[in-house]
Structure formats: structure tokens, C-alpha cells
Amino acid sequence: MRKETMTSTERIECAMNLEKPDRVPIGPLMSTSAAAALTGVEYWEIASRGYYAQLETEIALFDKFGGWDGVHPTLAPEVYKLGGLKTRMPTKESPEIQILEEEFLRYEDYEIIAEIGWMNFVRGHLIQRIGDVESNEDLKTLRDEVVAGVLKGMEEYRKRGAHILFPTLYMHPFFMLSMSRSMVKFTEDLYYRPEMVEKALKKMTEELIRNGIRLCEGAGLKTMGVVEERAGAFFYPLRIFERFWWPYTQQIVDAFHSKGIKVWFHLDTCWDKNIPYFKKLPRASAIIDLDGTTNIFAAKEQLRNHLCINSDVHPVLMSVGKPEDVEAYCKKLIDEVGNDGGLLLSTGCGLPAATKKENFEAMLRTGKTYELSK
């Protein structure tokens, strides 16, 4: 068994800086639905009780399984509502939260967003259309609840020696517009109204940078989370990616990097064709978080000694695989992706509610005990 000589924070920062820690850092991307299932409670009941109940469920899981290195704020329905997304709360019949994609954003709204910014647009226009939050006063109450919950979570996890990975997961402006406009209509806009889209992206990028830096500095954190699910070549040709996603992404990374803050990119779907672009970013300025559809071993070869990779133990493996399968894949990741540093052992996207207890234990145990075979 590998002797531990680092704290969780030292271990994670070492890996993010492309150095070799005492062992691989572990940081599963948690979901409250998985935490509820693994601790024997009903998620739909927990979610109906608000942010604190969901936070407490995830902390209970952390304690039950002996903890791990990296944690993130609870991604509760309240968080999505604050961003202007319509949600369907979990129920006994449908026990997962769902984000409902409809055409809430109109093409003429791009001009409004370019003028006043995204959050002012949410407060002044979008919440009335979505209907999840009835008034700006309710929105403020919701924001205060989430902020207080996030701070409480940071306090509790720090007591347990865990490292807070990022204060929140921002949706990339491209992804947020796609979700709010609907993917079909947004795609039409990319081709037929590109200048209008670019105006909104420019304003939203500036807003994300300003708010994200303030949030990180206020929380004393050195990593900011950004999620994107639709800009990769799985959906769009590279010319779309190069015009509407990559320039704004470079701007985000450069701004945060100038403040000593790394950007954690949660990249769902297949990004095989897009990975080489990330080599253009400053060394050790970002973390690439993959969900199991991108070839992580090819990504490692392209980004070796340049960017840290957050790994992709697949939801299928965690839910229907066997413990020995999970162990074998974790060892392969440590040997081939983490052999020279720059790896965080994690799940491919969020931990699924169907995760088997023995599989989760196998992942944690392997990460804590396995030594490189070469």
C-alpha cells in the first residue's frame, strides 16, 4: 500500500501542476441521486426538502465511504434554476432531476443579452417565461439559500480534510445559449444569425470572467469550473467550434490564468477532434474532465506534460460492471494516464444513481492503494 505523505489539497495541486503526487488524487463527480441511493434514502424526498438536505446527503456518503480528496458544490435543482434553466423535480415515479430544453430564448434576445448581460436578462425576462421562479424576490431568496449552502459545504468538507475543486460549475456561454434557445434553433442561429450570436457570446464571456474571478477570490479557491456538452465535433464541424467556442474559451482561460486560477473544463460527449486545440492554452492552466466517450488515452498523448486530465470511469462500468472491472480500469488509468503525473481519478460525468456499492468501493480503494506498475 502506498504511504500517504500529502494532504488532499497538496495531492490535487500537485497533479494539476503536472507533477507526480504520493498517489493519484480521487475526486468523483458526485450526484445527490447517487449519494441518496448509496446511503439508503429516496432522492425525490431529499430534493423536495431543499439545498441543505441534498448537501447533507452527499456529506453522509463521504463519511460512510471514508472520504476522498476532491469535492465540489452540490449540483441541486436550485443551482440550475439560478442560471435560468427550467427543471423538473424528481418524483417517486421519475426519481432524477431533469433539465427541460425548450425555446425560451428568442432570436431578438441576443441583442438584449449583448446589452445587459445574461443574469440581468434572466432576472428581467427569462424567469417570467420559464415559471420555475415567480419573482426576482424569489430568485434572490433562492440565491441566498444556495450561497449559504455552498459556504456550509465548503466548511464541512474542509473539516474533513477534503479539497474544494471549484466554487461552482458555470455553463459555458455557448452551452447556455444552446440550452435556452433549444439546440435546433440555436444551430439555425449559428448559420443564419452568426453576428447576433457573437454579440451575446462576447457579453456573456466578459460576465463569466468577471463573476468567476470574484467568486474564486472570495472563496479562496484557485480553480473555476466550466461545463460544455455541445461545442465538440460530435455535434458541430470544426469551423463552428473555431468561430463560436474556441476564441471565447481562450479568453476565459487567459483571464483566469492571469489571476493564478485554473479552469476546469467538464467536457461531455466526444471531443476527440477538438482535444489538440487545448495544447494552445498555457501549460497547467486548465484541467480537461472527460466523460468516457472521448478517447482519454489518446487525449493524454496529445496533452502530455501540458494539461491535467480528470478521468472517466464510465457510468456503465460503475452501475453494471463488476468490482474487478472497475479496479482493472482504474489501474489502467493510473498506469497510462497518470504515469508521469497530471491525472485525477474520477467518474465519467456524474456518479449514476445505479452505482453499485461494491463498485464505488473498488474505485476508491484502488485509487488509495494502487502503486504504478511501471
Can you give the CATH number for the domain in which 124 is found?
A: 3.20.20.210
Question: Is 74 domain-assigned?
Answer: yes
Question: Is 374 domain-assigned?
Answer: no
pLDDT at 137: 86
Question: Is 309 domain-assigned?
Answer: yes
- pLDDT, tens digit (0-9, with 9 covering 90-100), for 58-85: 999 999 999 999 999 999 989 998 888 9
pLDDT for 184 beyond 60: yes
The range of the structural domain enclosing residue 164 comes to 8-369
373 band by pLDDT with thresholds 50, 70 and 90: low
374 band by pLDDT with thresholds 50, 70 and 90: low
Distance CA 113, CA 124 (A): 11
pLDDT for 3 beyond 90: no
Mean pLDDT calculated for residue range 130-152: 88
The number of distinct structural domains making up the chain is: 1
pLDDT at 44: 92
pLDDT for 133 beyond 90: no
pLDDT at 372: 66
- pLDDT, tens digit (0-9, with 9 covering 90-100), for 259-273: 999 999 999 999 999
pTM listed for this prediction: 0.95
Mean pLDDT calculated for residue range 26-41: 96
pLDDT for 2 beyond 70: no
Question: Is 3 domain-assigned?
Answer: no
38: Cβ–Cβ under 8 A, 6 or more apart, which residues? 61, 64, 65, 355, 357, 360
Question: Is 313 domain-assigned?
Answer: yes
For the stretch 98-105, contacts whose Cβ atoms lie closer than 8 Å and that sit 24 or more positions apart, written own/partner, are: 99/179, 101/179, 101/182, 101/183, 102/182, 103/181, 103/182, 103/185, 104/129, 104/130, 104/180, 104/181, 105/177, 105/180, 105/181, 105/182, 105/185
pLDDT at 138: 84
pLDDT at 32: 95
The DSSP secondary structure of 56-107, one letter per residue, reads HHHHHHHHHTT--SEE-----HHHHHHTT-EEE---SSS-S-EEEP---S-T
pLDDT for 134 beyond 80: no
Q: Are 288 and 308 in contact (CB under 8 A)?
A: yes
- pLDDT, tens digit (0-9, with 9 covering 90-100), for 215-244: 999 999 999 999 999 999 999 999 999 999
- Between 143 and 279, where is the model more confident? 279
Question: Is 345 domain-assigned?
Answer: yes
pLDDT for 177 beyond 70: yes
Question: Is 337 domain-assigned?
Answer: yes
As a whole-number percent, the residues of the chain with pLDDT over 70 amount to: 99
The DSSP secondary structure of 134-158, one letter per residue, reads -SHHHHHHHHHHHHHHHHHHHHHHH
